[in-house]
Chains A and B, each alone.
Chain A
Amino acid sequence: MNPTSAGILTLLVGLLVALTTLWFIARSRQQEPAAQANQGLYKARTLYFVILSLCLLAGLTATLGKVPYGQADAANSQVVVNVNASMYNWEMVKVGAENAGELVIPAQKDVEFRVTGLDVNHGFGVYDADGHLLTQTQAMPGYTNRLVYNFAQPGVYHVLCLEYCGMMHPKMNTTFRVE
């Protein structure tokens, strides 16, 4: 689910919750003894429990298969990029590349980013040129997080730091090219 769809879903559920609340407030003007008034409510609760459980189960089934873990082993990526994050710089080097100029990686191939932090925690956030966040992982000292991504389109991509890392955090940006 992309961020826009998630936003619309949240808006719809939020409106549903708000309308339900207002409906119950409006109904509260009628007065009946609790046992009588809530008979239907308890039946509705059983139904709600069943529907909610099914929704949660469906949500888990649909999404737990799409986690970003373990892809590095499965993908056997031909392109590996070492990413070293430090205050406030991204050092990105393609394994086997002869020169250390601007990073250029191939389109439509699984690329494995091996991401670590050299000082504090940083967040390796990969954006397209239009400003959509495509994927991310943390850059943590002492650990290497292996992130796999397949860039469908050639172009310039941006990296923003997504973990607060100090005073210059918003300026910790860089770009790379996909061809």
Chain B
Amino acid sequence: MSNPALDNKRITVVYTVTALLVFLVLALLGWVMRLTQSGMVQLPSDAFYSVMTLHGLGMAGVMYTGAYAALWYLLSGYVQPSLKLMKINFVLILLGVVGLIGATLIGGFGAGWYVLYPLPFIEQWPRWSSLLAIVSLVLLGVAWLLGQLDLLRVLAQRYGLGGMLAWPTLFGKKSEAVPPLVLVAAINLLAGALTTVVGAVMLVLYLFQWMEPTVSLDALLMKNMVFLFGHTLVNITLYFGIAAIYELFPKYSGRPWVTNRVVALSWNVTFVLVMLVFFHHLYMDFANNIALHYIGQVGSYLSAIPATVVTVFGVLAQINRSGIRWSFVPLTFTLGVMGWIIGGFAAIVDTTIAINLTFHNTQWVPAHFHTYFLLGFAVMLFGIFYHLLEPEAEKLAKTSLAAILVGGYGFVTMFYLGGVNSVPRRFSGYEAVQTGTIAQTGHDLAVYAVGFAAILLVGVLLYYAAVFRRIGAAWNRA
């Protein structure tokens, strides 16, 4: 006899376990990059850049997919999205991931995660590997877009278009407020769907370029498109995590978290901001329209208001004098939000055009995105997955969290120091640089980063030992 709740749980477990396994492999690849920069491992330059490309594309993809799966499961408590589509998407995503692994590690494709035009089409690796990479991204994009549209469909059916965006609450009409989970999900799914369409257009143009090499596309337009798609995807991934926290924190604090007018306003404003701030990736393209540069900085600054005034204070209201029992899950939520804010501040520093002039493409960039993604979002996601899998391994999980935080903050600090010292990012090695102490600094920071990353990886493995402990029980429990 079919049990929809159990079926939903099982597909989520499949996504969760797969995401965790892929995450581990990609994290190890990141470690290999730092090992190479430290000189402890001799990886040829072409292999380094293939690994870098897989690490970047893979992490963006696996984080999004993991967050989407968690969101899908939590929303299935309110609406019934298509289980069949979720299964089909799993196959599409798996094919996409296998394709990317083949394109990079076998084919040598190494154009970086944002595949900046026209680099994918310059003959440094076999032509087939560029095609395989693009087709794999198309598969992933199709799966993500279908998934976004399906959730939007069921949310709109249940709550109405304005309802799911909390407009009745926002405009003061008497109406039952939607749960914050629904509001945050709807806002970001909508932004995701709109920008994924742009990504799809870009990938079709890439396919066209591959088939007809004499075609010349506009490099600046392509760059705008890739960051509208890529930046927004990463940004909504983080917000999917926040949506889950809105839903789950009250289960641990015992305090309700409702959609009032401030929350509704905050997320509706975020809908606009999340699609505008990507311009900060193009500050150093002076030829881009100057107004867009200003929009990038003003939008990035403004995004701090809803994030901190509403969400951070919301988290603080959950724990303030609450007598909460600090089990693993609320700890990850609180410390994950902390990582998000610290990394977010470092990002806002970098979104200041005058500062970006000396930070752009230095190690300040991986510093801030690893802070809010690894120490912010991934920590939250580990908590969300723990909640879903219920392994009851508190002591081990908390030990793992301590190692992740110590190793993680040490790891990102080396990137921050690299940024402050003008060390460029995305260098397979620093030996060739004869400028001041850049080579020595780049090397030394990589050595320390290797050590901190090892502690971080031990933490991740301990977390896996905890979370997989009773995976069979999770499989059989709705």
Contact = CB atoms under 8 A, between A and B. Distances in A.
A24 B345 contact: no
A29 B325 CA distance: 8
A32 interface: yes
A96 interface: no
Nearest to B45: A167
Interface string A23-45: 01101111110100110011001
B287 A145 contact: yes
A51 to B, nearest CB: 11
Nearest to A123: B361
A131 B436 contact: yes
A34 B293 contact: no
Interface string A82-109: 0000010000000000000000000000
B309 A48 contact: yes
Contact of B345 (A17, A69, A119, A143): A17
Contacts of A63: 297, 352-355
B420 A7 contact: yes
A70 B286 CA distance: 9
B424 A41 contact: no
Interface in B410-443: 416-417, 419-422, 424, 426-430, 432-438, 441
B309 A130 contact: no
B358 A135 contact: yes
Interface in A125-166: 125, 127-138, 140-147, 158, 160-166
B386 to A, nearest CB: 18
Contact of A144 (B287, B301, B309, B334): B287
A30 B321 CA distance: 5
A69 B433 contact: no
Contacts of A77: none
Given A37-B320, A63-B352, A140-B285, A164 B112 contact: yes
Contacts of A69: 286, 290, 293
Contacts of A135: 357-358
Interface residues of B, number: 82
Interface string B334-356: 11011001100110010011110
A121 B214 CA distance: 18
Interface string B386-430: 000000000000000000000000000000110111101011111
Interface size class of A (residues with CB under 8 A): 35 or more
A77 B37 CA distance: 40
B304 interface: yes
A127 B436 CA distance: 9
B297 A3 contact: no
B122 interface: yes
Interface stretch (B83-91, B92-100, B311-319, B456-464): B311-319
A163 B216 CA distance: 20
Interface of A: 1-4, 6-7, 9-11, 13-14, 17-18, 21, 24-25, 27-32, 34, 37-38, 41-42, 45, 48-49, 52-53, 56, 59-60, 63-64, 66-70, 87, 117, 119-121, 123, 125, 127-138, 140-147, 158, 160-171, 173
Interface of B: 45-46, 49, 110, 112, 116, 118-119, 122, 124, 216, 218-220, 223, 255-256, 284-287, 290, 293-294, 297-298, 301-302, 304-305, 308-309, 313, 316-317, 319-324, 326, 334-335, 337-338, 341-342, 345-346, 349, 352-355, 357-362, 364, 416-417, 419-422, 424, 426-430, 432-438, 441
26 contacts: A3-B364, A3-B420, A6-B349, A6-B355, A25-B326, A28-B319, A31-B322, A37-B322, A56-B304, A63-B355, A67-B354, A68-B354, A119-B118, A119-B122, A121-B223, A127-B422, A128-B436, A133-B422, A137-B285, A140-B223, A140-B287, A144-B287, A145-B284, A162-B361, A164-B119, A170-B432
